[in-house]
Structure 1
Amino acid sequence: MNIQKVIDRKMLDEKVVHMPWFVQQFIDYKLPDLSPSTLLEYIRDYEQFFLWLRAEGLSTAESNAQITLTDLETLRMESIVGYRLHLTTRTEGTNARITVSRKMSSLRSMFHYLSQIAEDEDFYPLLKRNIMAKVEIKRIHKPKDTAAKLKGKILEEDELLEFIGYISHGYGEDVKNNKQALYAYELNKERDASIASLILNSGLRVSEVVNLNLRDIDLTNKLMYVYRKGNNDETFKAPVYFREQSLDDLTQYLALRESRYQTPKKEKALFIAVPNGQKEGKRMTKRAIQAMIIKYAKRFGKPYLTVHKLRHSFATDYYLQNDIYKTKEQLGHASTETTEVYAHLTDKTMSQAIERRAETES
């Protein structure tokens, strides 16, 4: 089973018991269709909303679990407006427009379930009045807008290889006077370069990298088998190709994976780390990979670079040589609408390349 889903499902089970009974019922209803990580986000959104209701005196419940259907049913539009303002204007943890839109959408999804789908013992809707039905949630992240935000914040052209090379060699020179940092780097540089190279040559998501097992890698055919986001079939792994550039990095890492990290035979994970205070290697976590890329990115001079922007970097580069349908399949997108981001990005990339060519020829 998908390792990240197992972790998220466990956390979901721990959190949902602290929700009102009708939220638990809604989560059970959605569980066959949505991933545990998505439902975890729902739960976090509801926790925040219920805490706000109680703080504003809109519910007398002493805990989130005691929030009632009546509390939701008697909300006025001014309360929803107030909550949206709270999300966008509070001094700590102010949310971006896209985050506010998602939080409101998760609320509307639950309210819709309670008013249109769930029934009481007399076959009446659990929620008689749905205030969220009046709330218009505009689409925020259009492909063109997303592309505009990404411009200048991804790796382009030669930078893809330069970043991998920096992890393999350059970072060590930058931290040579820091014994602790240098030790950690020498221990992990082959693994770290292999992870960055794999993402920049295949476009995998970080969750897909975390879930990779040794048996999922076919070096001969430059192929991996991965659990794709949104696919709830736990028995199916999709084939994903990686480019030749990643082959040497993977081969170097695999040659030392077992001895360097004291990896037990039973550990099937591809990418291994030794947790602090422990002797045996275990599967790397998503958080560890994210932190690792940020560490190198800052020294590389690209502090805005993240794991997901490495995926964007690959996708933009890949789209320059392929059509939107091949790019969609390679990235595991549900629709070409998501892939349109790279059409907008490559338009700019190509126009800039033309300008650079003109400058060199003049």
Structure 2
Amino acid sequence: MNVQKEQDRKKLDDKVLTMPWYVQQFIDYKLPDLSPSTLLEYIRDYETFFNWLRAEGLSAAPDNGKVTLEELEVLRMEDVVSYRLYLTTRRESANSKITVSRKLSSMRSLFHYLSQIAEDDNFYPLLKRNIMAKVEIKRIHKPKDTAAKLKGKILEEDELLEFIGYIMDGYAKDVANNKQALYAHELNKERDACIASLILNSGLRVSEVVNLNVDDLDMNNKMLYVYRKGNNDETFKTPVYFREQARDDLAQYLTLRQSRYKVPKREKALFAALPNGHQEGGRMTKRAIQAMIIKYAKRFGKPYLTVHKLRHSFATDYYLQNDIYKTKEQLGHASTETTEVYAHLTDKTMSEAIERRLEP
């Protein structure tokens, strides 16, 4: 099992114990088909729902683990409407339409399982009445809408190389008066630039970058072997190619990986960090990489840029030279529908190309 999945599986195993027995049964049913990170999101959604049920007096349970099937069975449509309203208006963290849709979809999955699949000792459904079957969940996350939100928030054309160069050199000039920031940058600039370069030249997800080991790297063929999202075969790694730029940056980083980060021989992680006060380095975390990219992006003048938008930046650039099917394979998408985002992002360029083609 890859590193990120191991961490999420441990969190899942701990969290699921706070849930009612029938939710635990549902998670066991879904475990072969869905990743631990997806199921962890399900658990968090159920935690929110059960907390709301108890706060509204719709459940008499002293804690979430004691919410009964009977209390779910007598819920009315007006209760579901109230819950949807709560998700969109609660002050501490109002959710977007996409998030609300996902949370309701999680509930539908659970209720469907309880009413259509799971059985009691007498072969009757665990849930006799499924109120969530009446809830229509409209598709919110359309490729064209996603593309519209991404415009202006990703790196385009020359900016891809400029951002990598900024991490290596430009950032130091901007923090010249901050000794602590300057010291940290001098220590990590080759590694940080290498990570950004690898994503911008391959389209890897941050979880895939975190899971990379040194022996996953084939420098001669400009190839990496990665655990791809949605692939539950723990023995199979997918080959993913990267561009020449990334090979140069990887070669530079590898010359100092062991000496700079004091990586012991037993540590196989490609990207390492050496926390203050530690004698040995270890694998970089997902959160550390995300925070690192945000730090550079703000100074670079792209405050909306995140590690995932680096992946979008690569994909948009790659799509301009390749078709949708090659882009889908390179990014590891399950279907071309997800890849359609980049067709919409490149609408302007494509329309200009058509105009040039029609010129006499």
Distance 2:18 2:346 in 1: 47
Q: CA deviation at 1:353?
A: 8.9
Q: CA deviation at 1:328?
A: 0.3
- Structural mapping, 1:271-350, within 5 Å: 271-350=271-350
User: Structure 1: any 5+ residue segments left out of the alignment?
Assistant: none
**Runs of 4+ off more than 2 Å:** 348-355
- Structural mapping, 1:1-362, within 5 Å: 1-351=1-351
Secondary structure of the residue that 2:348 maps to in structure 1?
A: helix
Q: CA deviation at 1:354?
A: 9.8
Distance 1:179 1:26 in 2: 52
RMSD: 1.3
Change (3 A) 1:354 1:156: farther
Distance 1:316 1:108 in 2: 34
One-letter amino acid of the structure 2 residue matched with residue 9 of structure 1: R
Aligned length: 356
Q: CA deviation at 1:248?
A: 1.1
- Cα deviations by residue, 1:67-92 (Å, 9 ceiling, x for unpaired): 00011001000000000000001111
TM-score normalised per structure 1? 0.97
- Cα deviations by residue, 1:198-238 (Å, 9 ceiling, x for unpaired): 00000000000000000000111100000000000000000
Q: CA deviation at 1:349?
A: 4.1
One-letter amino acid of the structure 1 residue matched with residue 122 of structure 2: D
Q: CA deviation at 1:327?
A: 0.3
TM-score normalised per structure 2? 0.97
Distance 2:119 2:343 in 1: 46
Distance 2:64 2:166 in 1: 49
Distance 1:114 1:349 in 2: 49
User: Structure 2: any 5+ residue segments left out of the alignment?
Assistant: none
Distance 1:254 1:134 in 2: 56
Distance 1:315 1:166 in 2: 21
- Cα deviations by residue, 1:144-199 (Å, 9 ceiling, x for unpaired): 11111111110000000000000011001111110000000000000000000000
Distance 1:352 1:65 in 2: 58
Q: CA deviation at 1:277?
A: 2.9
